[in-house]
Structure 1
Amino acid sequence: MKNGIEKIADKISKDGYKNIFFIASGGSWVVSQTFEYYWKQHSSIPVFNEIAAEYVLSNNKQVTRDSIVILQSKSGDTTETVKAAQMLKEKNIRTIGIVRKGDSPLANSVTYPIVENVVNLDGSDPENVAMIFLLFRLLYNQNEFAQYDKLVKSLENLPQALVSVRKQADKFAEDFSNNFYQEEYQMWVGGGSLTGKTYSFAMCVLEEMLWIKTKSIHTAEFFHGSFEVLDEDTCCVLVKGEDVTRSIGERVEKFMEKIGSKKFSVIDTKDYKLEGIDDDFREIFGQMIVTGVVDRISVYLERDRDHSLDTRRYYRVMDY
């Protein structure tokens, strides 16, 4: 997978581009926010993150033949994302599609399909390895990320490292579920490079899979309204990372301690060892650490709530 992605990135770099767009839906869209964040930290080339359903109805003049558009869909058949890819194809705009299924509508609609087929040693999803190869290779080609080869070396150790994170997180996850599985409303707060991961867990797992009413809140926006609905018995989780926005999360943590919250928890990526991963890249892999922790929380919530993560009432069940 690495060599194929590098060839795509090198071809795009050689041809040139003036901006990058991420276009996706649901969890794929919100996780793209993480990579939008990274790109802005490293590059002066403009980057945009669009919801597919809105893009197909709009006339975004920033998307031109000088753009590179990256579309994601694990299934490869997300209706709105596929439609966006087909529209872009008609306009002769270069597209990259990251999917899990090579023979899928999205893969067949883009200029450069990438099939992400990496899994952890325990069979779980390491999440967005293809995107890391792609974006940081582009940055490397622009002389905006000199550590690319060093990053690739760390990626070789990622599967084992993420299994280790899950093991480290297991007791916290089980305790969290034991204490809060009956809570019917939760607040999840995260920011910076973890904004998308916090949002996606709240929406795609707690709401979609477990039917728990949940609000995800950006740490910087927490003090602009959301904290007024808190009391000492509100279940609230802070997702705290290691990027430059860490101090904003710490401000939330201090406030929760000040009001004496009885149901406040913190997931701090700093608490988890990443074996074989260079410390220079902990920020890049922060969302994967959080994934490892919340994946274990999901397992125990599924057990304690007696609610299968595969059960849906509406999503892909009925026509909507």
Structure 2
Amino acid sequence: MLNFDKDRFVGIQSGAISIADDVRSLMKKLISGGAERLFFMGTGGVQLLTLPAIELAGRLSTFPVASAFPAQVVLDPPAGLDDKAVVVIPSLSGTTRESVELLSFLKARGCITITLTGHKDTPLAQEADYNFTNFAEDDTSSEMFYLQTLLIVLALLAERGEYAGYEATVAELKTLPELLVGVKAAFEDTAAQLAATIKDENYHIFTGAGSVWPESYYYGMCILEEMQWIRTRPVHAADFFHGTLELVEPGVSVFVFKGEDKYRPLSDRVENFARRYTDRVRVLDAAAAPLPGISPEVRALISPVILATELERLSAHLEVLRQHPLTTRRYYKRVEY
């Protein structure tokens, strides 16, 4: 596979899942200690990677689990940011400016803080109440944060008696890193062909529903826009027919992401419509990925992980064909924000 280090990838994803026992113990401690609310507050694209876990909590639990933008929180915080609130802050670098400012703000209010970082010797790793550091870089961080935030929510639900299969789910997830290598290998030729097809296209609509909607948003904004300077229009599949459908015409690229949860029919509906009006419909379906030994229940939880690991292969080919490394930015180091 192009520019892929199997051992590095497996090690990073195994490290992500290895926090499962500690997360369960921590959730037990926090719930028994009186925690009443859970927030996820990430800056930029990493916040999108927390949304599938938040959505899962909203379906299975009455415990308040919400998201918020750090840059907004420090200006006008939501209700409930006190010593009964647990706030999870993911940051690959551990130095993200808005998130560092947020951490100080939360500590002053007495909130319980948990950080998920890719580097230990950083402000977010060292100054939080609890930290889980697992070395990762851009090409491996999506799967890592999807898995870690999923484990946090599942541990919370398990402690509240709202999810009975925590140990069994973790056992399956521990086999996932090696299986994801197989997913990448199975998708490699498709990724190469798709990259060759779209390398000169400058606009794409991205859509999905349920747990894969955040990945469609993330890939459009954080990969194609930020790392390739390609214009995109992410739109939730439930909103597609309330505006974006009018942009579909011959030659318009529509990426449809499909998961294995109950929201899949929303993506099917968009695909069926788009195929009637454009010849550029690209479907990425988590259900097509080979994952032997993973139960349907767990597959439904990890659809965004599957798509993220496939899309990394697309990115690897795109940066070569477009002669535009994923690390190249115009403004990232120069913007005061």
Q: TM-score, normalised by structure 1?
A: 0.94
Q: Percent identity?
A: 29
User: How much has 1:255 moved relative to structure 2?
Assistant: 0.3
Pick from 265, 268, 272 the counterpart of residue 250 of structure 1: 268
Equivalences for residues 1-320 of structure 1 within 5 A: 1-117=19-135, 124-125=140-141, 126-128=143-145, 129-259=147-277, 261-320=278-337
The residue type equivalent to 2:305 in the other structure is: M
Counterparts in 2 of 1:46 and 1:284: CA distance versus 1, 3 Å: same
Q: CA separation in 1, counterparts of 2:135 and 2:23?
A: 12
Q: CA separation in 1, counterparts of 2:170 and 2:86?
A: 23
Q: CA separation in 2, counterparts of 1:318 and 1:245?
A: 38
Contact persistence 2:253–2:281 (CA under 8 A): yes
**3-state SS of paired residue (1:273):** coil
User: How much has 1:43 moved relative to structure 2?
Assistant: 0.7
Q: TM-score, normalised by structure 2?
A: 0.90
Q: CA separation in 2, counterparts of 1:142 and 1:133?
A: 14
**3-state SS of paired residue (1:223):** helix
**3-state SS of paired residue (1:310):** coil
The residue type equivalent to 1:204 in the other structure is: C
Counterparts in 2 of 1:74 and 1:124: CA distance versus 1, 3 Å: closer
Match of 2:5 in 1: none
Contact persistence 1:5–1:130 (CA under 8 A): no
Q: CA separation in 2, counterparts of 1:223 and 1:94?
A: 41
The residue type equivalent to 2:126 in the other structure is: N
The residue type equivalent to 1:233 in the other structure is: G
**3-state SS of paired residue (2:282):** strand
Q: CA separation in 2, counterparts of 1:117 and 1:139?
A: 27
**3-state SS of paired residue (1:107):** helix
Q: CA separation in 1, counterparts of 2:336 and 2:102?
A: 20
User: How much has 1:18 moved relative to structure 2?
Assistant: 1.9
Deviation >3 Å, runs of 4+: 123-126, 317-320
Q: CA separation in 2, counterparts of 1:23 and 1:118?
A: 19
User: How much has 1:318 moved relative to structure 2?
Assistant: 4.8
The residue type equivalent to 1:174 in the other structure is: A
**3-state SS of paired residue (1:238):** strand
Q: CA separation in 1, counterparts of 2:241 and 2:86?
A: 36
Q: CA separation in 2, counterparts of 1:62 and 1:220?
A: 30
User: How much has 1:72 moved relative to structure 2?
Assistant: 0.7
- CA RMSD of the aligned region, Å? 1.6
The residue type equivalent to 1:7 in the other structure is: S
User: How much has 1:124 moved relative to structure 2?
Assistant: 4.1
The residue type equivalent to 1:266 in the other structure is: V
Contact persistence 1:190–1:198 (CA under 8 A): yes
User: How much has 1:118 moved relative to structure 2?
Assistant: 7.4
User: How much has 1:130 moved relative to structure 2?
Assistant: 2.5
User: How much has 1:293 moved relative to structure 2?
Assistant: 1.4
**3-state SS of paired residue (1:298):** helix
User: How much has 1:244 moved relative to structure 2?
Assistant: 1.3
The residue type equivalent to 1:60 in the other structure is: P
**3-state SS of paired residue (2:300):** coil
Q: CA separation in 2, counterparts of 1:75 and 1:165?
A: 27
- Would you tell me which structure has more helix in proportion to its own residues? 2
**3-state SS of paired residue (2:333):** coil
Contact persistence 1:99–1:116 (CA under 8 A): yes
